[in-house]
Structure 1
């Protein structure tokens, strides 16, 4: 093999740990522990099974299943034979699954519930038929990945548009994890709770961060996160804001979070009072801005559990950011996806200079500190004034009786558009317009205060871990 070809490859971190530290725990599931040697054997065995059923390199294989050791083993087995894993939410109705499968031209669907998906227009294979956790040894596969090798197709959260099929290489995820681990240290024998789904980039990225460092991924059978953290001696967790709010409110939740080495929160705007409370209670909180197209984090704060900590999110390594003339955030770098899959074909999504236009507006200070203002495509112009709904939502979420908020544009005869708000209230609380206006007036000019406040719709569409703005 030529030196150039070697330099254009990445060796599988699971294989490296299996050879050097085979006895270390890799995956913990309930009372089961799979060490790196057993994990690596299971991957090789599964890879052979996949080839036996006709799966080849570059073949797109869909996975619809809850997080499990079998899911993780199948992922790495697919990558070892050069196939592409296509991650779909088990929460989607069959019609939506069928549309996604047709769009990406999926060849096979792997699942833990084969009967449930037999009506789909795709060959369905049960994970238990191809995965054996205590697998016999088979001749080791070449566990190296070309930098440009397609590895995953993930779907965007769909918070402002219909979900898009995002194709990443193995290198995208690899470099994303390397940059994250420079900011949030992970050590051998650390344990990161897989508290986010593997069909979302924030869940998938946990695997790479851990396996790069010889740490363990914990998949808990216990839905009580606080109990899971105690039971498995968890050191790291990733949450969206809503998860953190629930745990802070739970009995004993705060004392559990203080024990962690790192608490990474992202996915949507985080209420100011939640960050303030986390800092007061010395949680090892890291706040992140990221997107699916850049394989998770783009910029993240340092740990916020000391008074001198900065709330500014710092650019992580292997990412590039610049701000366009109109204020839009543009991104590039080694974590940038290859493009979107449309009708089975990969469509690049960068401009001619290689920059991806995020649709977010922001400010970059000193070339490394990124502040997010809001979405360009949700900005409304009211009487000539630019209004970002996210700014209003941010302050609405700081109101004592508001759990969540979405602000949208409503047509207005005089001003063109005016903001109106939909509110999810905390338990046993009532909507109080006077109190809301009084609260917002402390932080916002009058033209940014919504004209109307409505209760959250009973049925709000969601995809992944965020609500869909189009539902309001």
Structure 2
């Protein structure tokens, strides 16, 4: 399937891609991406070849990714904010046929568009490898997840049944294209006919929202927290048709604040391996009930006997790219084990309880940090919390907490401990509390670097 040509036939001159200086229609995308695909073929790029792109979000990156999609090459967008040594390691493992950084990408696209050659060989196989997206790797080395065209297509198709995105709509490309949430936007636009707005990479989110007629937005909780505190932020957010919120756990105070500000929040749970969304709220949330919505079409979810969330379906990726080739990550029955713990209600709503690998044992009892974080975030004045184990001679490990409090007005340690001992018991009550102004985040990502805090916890004296 040539999704770009099909979108051009269906949506024609409707806006497809918007920047501060130019607007592309779907017909324009068809012509420009064809020229880039022809230029890539002239450079010897063929179906199945890996092309790495180390660059921030931009119109040339969008066009190049769509061109690679059309010709059947495999796009591997790499986070340009990674340290140089990290990027070198990623590229060594990918072993791409071509690598384009920000400068060479811009020059290549400009030259291709000036050339005028539209002839290239379009790929039509739905099962062809299309992208390699690295997991965010909150702990350990990022894994290179390979997705087929069919994976991304069915992801967009299932998403659209719950949250339509069509002509007249505009989704701000606020997530990096090297993450599955950003890359999936290409398919959402081409499938549904909505436009993508590409802000300057360094533009604050609030400024970007003011610069484009945005109707849809994807954020992680840290970004929402900042927007609710930006000048005019709440007003801009409440004008949206939908704000898709995922990427990590959402604290109750943050969700209650968004609801109070009448922000149309759709909670979602997903993963790189499932081509982004797995479950999503069927409409804007109206209470901080804590679940991540219902299972979308083309996905299946079940809870294993030990409480782990298992997933499969047309959106499940092809496997991880290792030195020995493509390694499947499915069990004998085709399920992918997410490493997340959860519950599925009779109504089909999924509640994510936390990471399986974050659990630790204290005095013989299983401790799930997410349970403690939720209790901490429910206290007045605490915006967000991270809980990790610290070594303890008597118990083996005890929980310690890092807290972000509201304007230095959070409760003191004694108040926190008294409250948690009453609700969670002594073993689950952290023995130490540290206040932070800003979180340590993963390289090039707004997600909290939990591995970093876990290492800090390991250095605590028991």
TM beyond 0.5: yes
What CA distance in whole angstroms lies between the structure 2 residues aligned with 1:429 and 1:297?
Answer: 36
Q: Which residue in the other structure is 1:159 paired with?
A: 138
Hey, what does 1:211 align to over in structure 2?
190
The equivalent of 1:406 in structure 2 is 386
- State the partner residue of 2:448: 467
Deviation at 1:16, TM superposition (A): 1.3
Q: 2:67 aligns with which of 70, 77, 81?
A: 77
What does residue 56 of structure 2 align with? 66
Q: Does 1:20 align with 2:10?
A: yes
> 1:165, 1:340 within 8 Å by CA — same for their partners in 2?
yes
Partner of 1:41: 31
Deviation per CA, 1:238-296, whole angstroms, max 9, x where unpaired? 00001111111122211111111101100111110111122223221101111111011
- Higher mean alpha-carbon deviation, 401-410 vs 33-42, is at 401-410
State the partner residue of 2:178. Answer: 199
Contact between 2:223 and 2:446, CA under 8 Å: does it hold in 1? no
Instruction: Quote the offset at 1:63 in angstroms.
Output: 0.8
The 3 A distance-change label for structure 1 pair 370 and 157 is same
Structure 1 distance, partners of 2:366, 2:273, is: 27
Aligned position for 1:366: 346
Per the TM alignment, residue 26 of structure 1 is displaced from its structure 2 partner at its CA by: 0.7
Contact kept? 1:301, 1:310, Cα under 8 Å: no
Match of 2:208 in 1: 228
Equivalent position of 1:100 in the other structure: 90
What is the CA distance between 1:305 and its match in structure 2? 5.3
Establish whether residue 54 from structure 1 lines up as the match of residue 44 from structure 2: yes
Q: Does the C-alpha gap of structure 1 residues 281 and 461 become closer, same or farther in structure 2, counting only changes over 3 Å? A: closer
Q: Map 1:276-315 to 2 at 5 A.
A: 276-304=256-284, 306=286, 313-315=293-295
The answer to which of 158-167 and 417-426 deviates more is 417-426
Q: SS in structure 2 opposite 1:447?
A: coil
Counterpart in the other structure of 2:458: none
* Cα root mean square deviation, aligned: 2.5
Report the CA distance shift for 1:101/1:344 in structure 2 as closer, same or farther (over 3 A): farther
Structure 1 gap ranges (5+): 1-10, 114-124
Please name the residue that 2:428 is paired with: 448
Which whole-Å CA distance do the structure 1 matches of 2:264 and 2:111 have between them? 37
In 2, the alpha carbon distance for the partners of 1:211 and 1:179 equals: 14
Please say if residues 176 and 335 of structure 1, whose CA atoms lie closer than 8 Å, have aligned partners that are also in contact.
yes
Distance change >3 Å, CA 439–CA 178, structure 1 → 2: farther
> Relative to 1, partners in 2 of residues 1:130 and 1:34: Cα closer, same or farther, differing over 3 Å?
same
> 1: distance between equivalents of 2:399 and 2:136?
23
Q: Match of 2:225?
A: 245
Matches within 5 A, 1:369-380: 369-380=349-360
In structure 2, relative to structure 1, the CA distance for the partners of 1:367 and 1:249 (3 Å cut) is same
TM-score normalized by structure 2?
Answer: 0.91
Question: Residues 140-151 of structure 1: matches in 2 within 5 Å?
Answer: 141=120, 143-151=122-130
Query: CA contact under 8 A between 1:282 and 1:305: conserved in structure 2?
Result: no
Q: C-alpha separation between the residues in 1 aligned to 2:26 and 2:263?
A: 31
Partner SS, residue 293 of structure 1 = coil
1:364 shift after superposition:
1.3
Whole-Å separation in 2 of the counterparts to 1:302 and 1:281: 20
1:223, distance to aligned residue in structure 2 (A)? 2.0
What is the rounded CA distance, in whole Å, between the counterparts of 2:100 and 2:121 in structure 1?
A: 23
The partner residue of 1:347 within 314, 318, 327 is 327
Distance in 2 of aligned mates of 1:418 and 1:296 = 34
1:118 corresponds to: none
Which one has a larger percent strand, Structure 1 or Structure 2?
1
Residue 457 to residue 343, structure 1, CA distance change in 2 (3 Å): farther
Instruction: Give 1:382's match in structure 2, choosing from 362, 377, 402.
Output: 362
Unaligned runs of 5+ in 2: 454-462
- Residues 66 and 228 (structure 1 numbering): CA distance in 2 closer, same or farther, change over 3 Å? same
> Residues 267 and 285 of structure 2 are in contact (CA less than 8 Å); yes or no, is this contact kept in structure 1?
no
Counterparts in 2 of 1:344 and 1:128: CA distance versus 1, 3 Å: farther
**Cα distance between partner residues in 2 of 1:457 and 1:30:** 33
**Do the aligned partners of residues 335 and 312 (structure 1) sit closer, same or farther apart at CA in structure 2, a change above 3 Å counting?**
closer
Q: Provide closer, same or farther for how the CA distance between residues 20 and 470 of structure 1 changes in structure 2, counting only shifts above 3 A.
A: closer
